[in-house]
Structure 1
Amino acid sequence: MNRKLIAIALLAVAGSTSAASPALPPRVDAAAQQRVNDGEYPALVIGVVDGDHSQIYTYGKLTDGKAPTADTVFEIGSITKTFTATLLAEAVTKNELRLDQPVASLLPDFKIPSRNGKPITLGELGMQDSGLPRLPTNFHPAHMDDPYADYSLDLLKAFLATYSLPRDPGENYEYSNLGAALLGYALGRHAGSSYDKLVQAWIFMPLGMDSTATTIDAAMRSRLAQGHDATGKPVGNWNVNLFVGAGGIRSTGNDMLRYLKANMGLTPSPLYTAMQLAQTPRTSGPGPENRIGLIWMTQHGPDGDVIWHNGMTGGYASFIGFTADRRHGVVILTNTATDVDDLGFATLRAAWPLAPAHKNVSLSTQVLDEYQGTYRLSPAMLLNVFRADNQLVAQATGQGAFPLYASGKDEFFASVSDIRISFKHDAQGKVDTLVLHQHGDHVAPKLSTAEADALRGNKEVAIDPATLGNYAGRYQLAPNAIFVVTVQNGQLMVKLGGQPSFPVYASARDRFFYRVVDAKIDFERDEHGRVDALVLHQNGADKRAPKLGD
């Protein structure tokens, strides 16, 4: 998730456009209209800055049949993080805080992890190299359609008090919603207030962003676009609560254009010095072409640098960016969880490729099952592809799982990034390869079950049915996250919360491994030999779940 003194005059607003103004490249206008026509985006709002000219373009329709406007409200997701960075930078320019100041100094009632005597600093939270993971290991949503709603302050404190950093703070970039959320919370505490009140007082009000908020009122809610997942299904809004500084802001095209122009220095604002401080590149970011300042990314290219960030929630996606010469900028908001980054970069870079339109199609579970398996992208990187109910899902080694959506038989795309996957068949018609299309084409052969097990150090052994029955039961991983273990036709099955059941395979008595994901489960026994807990081993973390009584 993601980043918000003088009120600015109302910006010119265009309705749905069939012919592009000079501010928006014709190819971007055409692509946006085509994607809306194909149903990829229900509604789309694009705000463009081109020198002294600015314009807002709207496409598509809302659920009431009306066209979106520059005042339609969207979740902006992780662009929220740039607002959090601005708050930090403003406190630094006011000499209230330092970038090398330990976050623990703002949160004396927390136990913040450190490594080799190096504490996590405020600047490292902003530069996303604190050593904290993307999400805490005790993050177990009760409802995946509102994943942050039930994560509490007590859970955050418990995680931080027991987490061991895998590397020194400042050593390597790792995108972290947790780190941005912790930074936002700490800044609110430092101000003797809350993040919500601080961002309202320091950014929204001075910039005249009166339709931007973390908690929306009835007037804003009446203009809120209905969110959709990548398949076009309507979804509810996220309640990010403790993670508000990482992704909790809602806003409009008009307000985000105000924010964009303030960051570009095109409108007078006392925040501009802080905004420049946040934008200044400091260390390596994601990929060789990106460097990161305080949350803001700077992408280097032959035609100049672009300063940018993006965002996505369960039902919305967003992009904000501008050229380093501060002459061209764009903000994009849509009400579906489908990436809009290529539209943003193509607005700012003439040679940036536009992804082909993705029209989601439905494939039978029988067809989806043909794609399941483990594919080798490199000696150290495997890609698991599996079906969860009617959804194909992929997970690379050490990374989170993400859904894949079919645009045709053998052709899939991911809404979370500019990823496309093509499946290939052998002479007998069986799927034997996938090609990952992301920054080039990467061929990954499909491994046999034995090959995949061997690469992960797994070897299946037989367990008698009576012993399998000992593991059946319910195990509490978190207050709202329960493992349900059953035996079905001689196969041990494990289900976590609202997720589907997946088979696990024995490598020894009480030791099992998944094949759909890179994870293992060990069962523990009490002094009488009865199974009384399980331990999930995944992504370097060990999570224990005691067995519940009948």
Structure 2
Amino acid sequence: MSFVFAARWPALLLLVFLTSAPTLAADEMAARVQQLAKPYIEGGGLVGMTVGVVHDDETLILGLGRVARDVEQTPDGNTMYEIGSVSKVFTGILLADAVQQGRAALDQPAGELLPAGVKMPARGEHPILLCHLATHSSGLPRLPSNLAPKDATNPYADYTVDNLYDFLDGHRLRREPGEKVEYSNLGVGLLGHLLALDAEQSYEELMQERIAEPLGMTDTCIALSDEQRARLAKPYNVDGDAEANWDLPTLAGAGALRSSMSDMLKFASAALSPPPGELGKAIELSWQQHQDPLAEGDFAMGLAWHIARDGTTRWHSGQTGGYHSVIYVNRQINAAVVILSNTATGEIDVLGEQIVRMLAGAEVEPRNFDEPLKVDQAMLDRYVGKYQLVPGFVLEVTTTDGKLYVQATGQGKARVHPRSDTEWFYKIVDAKLVFEVDDQGKCTSLTLHQNGMKLPAKRLDE
């Protein structure tokens, strides 16, 4: 199982058509954003979200849905969320800040910031540089191979600094640093750890001193106060099931931050127009392009910022077990969009792009989501059972509260959704199941369709 606190390596092709569109009045902007956002709550499977927009002198915060399924409360600008890999943008700014202060250099070998006796992987004479960690070109994998959580619902909580150092000591790079762009939560998490070591602070202390406090961001943190925890939206996965909150004590720089929309719009405004002084210089350095695309499908990179294919928009998304976030900043149209959701689905990345395009003057229509197919309990029950793909690897199908779940040997349980009576699809991966039913209405087998393969599994007799 792959535990990620970011969206998959970005596949979004953001193409903003810039025009001379006038700034919308506050009420008109609110109406248009509401029109684009509502379908995601009504048919897109989101429990709740807060949408934030800065455009010229206008600022909008719009809450939709609920802070929890069983609570009649709409999220607002003070609702707290896990922001996942949007934390990486903060880490990129912290690197730029260290450079501005003369404490680090972009072309500095990252191993120089490790404690004595800990070895940084290298390839021949080519060390991993700090800029490689910030641009996903270090050659480090997405996750460390010794990540083995005791609790899958909080997968990073028990990953220690000693675990990290053990991994670094034993890892061998498969390619030279700078040779390929490959999204790495490990790489940016390590960068945050190194910067905190150098500053002799925790990552949270460093981030708050150098970024949050100068910008007046009082709700951006890792450890929540009791009052902030009371404002934390409850987390849900892409299937709408309740999830647990995540803790990232060692790889904090890759995805540990929590924040509110009120705070994130302060951050977005600073990215649009950096303040004077050291922080503004760091924001500007992080904004600049530091990595060209190296292969088809790559994005150019700032320091942790993705640079969209329009060459202008900077953006990043983030995801934990029960939250998704996204930020877009476009200086050419003087606009920023932030969306925070308590549902772990990348659908809101599309909504963010829609809003940016609308602000740029493009005609954007609200999305239509298909009504979910309703299946009665008798049909669900006929699929319940165990199906063997190969000896020792079984798919177990169960039903709970009118929903169908599948659990593969050694993996977690995942919900599947109906496209028809016999075809069911996953939301967490690109895969589907097709059940085979005989003339008597009994399910005899299924076929797993994934990665271009069709894998039949015969039902085991019970």
| TM-score normalised to structure 2 length | 0.78
Secondary structure of 1:169's partner? coil
Distance 2:174 2:413 in 1: 24
Distance 1:346 1:402 in 2: 33
1:155 equivalent in alignment to 2:168 = no
Name the structure 1 match of 2:369.
357
Alignment deviations for residues 274-331 of structure 1 (CA, whole Å, 9 cap, x no partner) = 2222122222279626211211001114xx6321000000111000012241512100
Residues 62-77 of structure 1: pairs in structure 2 closer than 5 A: 62-63=67-68, 64-77=71-84
* Superposition RMSD in Å: 3.7
Alignment deviations for residues 215-248 of structure 1 (CA, whole Å, 9 cap, x no partner) = 1111211111111122222222111111111111
Given that 1:342 and 1:355 are in contact with CA atoms closer than 8 Å, whether structure 2 keeps it comes out as no
Name the structure 1 match of 2:425.
412
Name the CA shift for 1:392/1:271 in 2 (closer, same or farther; >3 Å): farther
Name the CA shift for 1:361/1:200 in 2 (closer, same or farther; >3 Å): farther
Alignment deviations for residues 387-408 of structure 1 (CA, whole Å, 9 cap, x no partner) = 67654589xxxxx999564263
Residue 359 of structure 1: CA displacement?
A: 6.6
Residue 272 of structure 1: CA displacement?
A: 2.5
1:32 equivalent in alignment to 2:37 = yes
1:61 equivalent in alignment to 2:66 = yes
Secondary structure of 2:28's partner? coil
Name the structure 2 match of 1:288.
297
Name the structure 1 match of 2:338.
331
- Partner amino acid, structure 1, of 2:315: W
Distance 2:61 2:244 in 1: 26
Alignment deviations for residues 82-129 of structure 1 (CA, whole Å, 9 cap, x no partner) = 000000011112222101111111113321110112111111000111
Residue 158 of structure 1: CA displacement?
A: 0.9
Which stretches in structure 1 are left out of the alignment for 5+ residues? Answer: 4-18, 375-383, 395-399, 437-443, 450-488, 490-550
Name the structure 2 match of 1:199.
207
Alignment deviations for residues 159-190 of structure 1 (CA, whole Å, 9 cap, x no partner) = 11111111111111111111111100100010
Name the structure 2 match of 1:23.
29
Secondary structure of 1:199's partner? helix
1:315 equivalent in alignment to 2:322 = yes
Residues 380-395 of structure 1: pairs in structure 2 closer than 5 A: 391-392=405-406
Name the CA shift for 1:133/1:361 in 2 (closer, same or farther; >3 Å): farther
Name the structure 1 match of 2:271.
263
Secondary structure of 1:283's partner? coil
Name the structure 2 match of 1:7.
none
Residues 299-314 of structure 1: pairs in structure 2 closer than 5 A: 299-301=308-310, 305-314=312-321
Residue 370 of structure 1: CA displacement?
A: 11
Given that 1:40 and 1:360 are in contact with CA atoms closer than 8 Å, whether structure 2 keeps it comes out as no
Secondary structure of 1:336's partner? coil
Name the structure 2 match of 1:126.
134
Structure having the higher helix fraction is: 2
Given that 2:6 and 2:320 are in contact with CA atoms closer than 8 Å, whether structure 1 keeps it comes out as no
- Partner amino acid, structure 1, of 2:305: W
Name the structure 1 match of 2:51.
46
- Partner amino acid, structure 1, of 2:323: Y
Name the structure 2 match of 1:185.
193
Distance 2:142 2:381 in 1: 31
1:226 equivalent in alignment to 2:238 = no
- Which residue of 117, 122, 143 maps to 1:114? 122
Name the structure 2 match of 1:235.
243
Distance 1:88 1:319 in 2: 21
Which stretches in structure 2 are left out of the alignment for 5+ residues? Answer: 8-24, 399-403, 440-444
Secondary structure of 2:29's partner? coil
Name the CA shift for 1:121/1:289 in 2 (closer, same or farther; >3 Å): closer
Name the structure 1 match of 2:13.
none
Distance 2:397 2:312 in 1: 41
Residues 440-479 of structure 1: pairs in structure 2 closer than 5 A: 444=452, 446=454
- Partner amino acid, structure 2, of 1:313: T
Distance 1:431 1:353 in 2: 39
Distance 2:187 2:200 in 1: 20
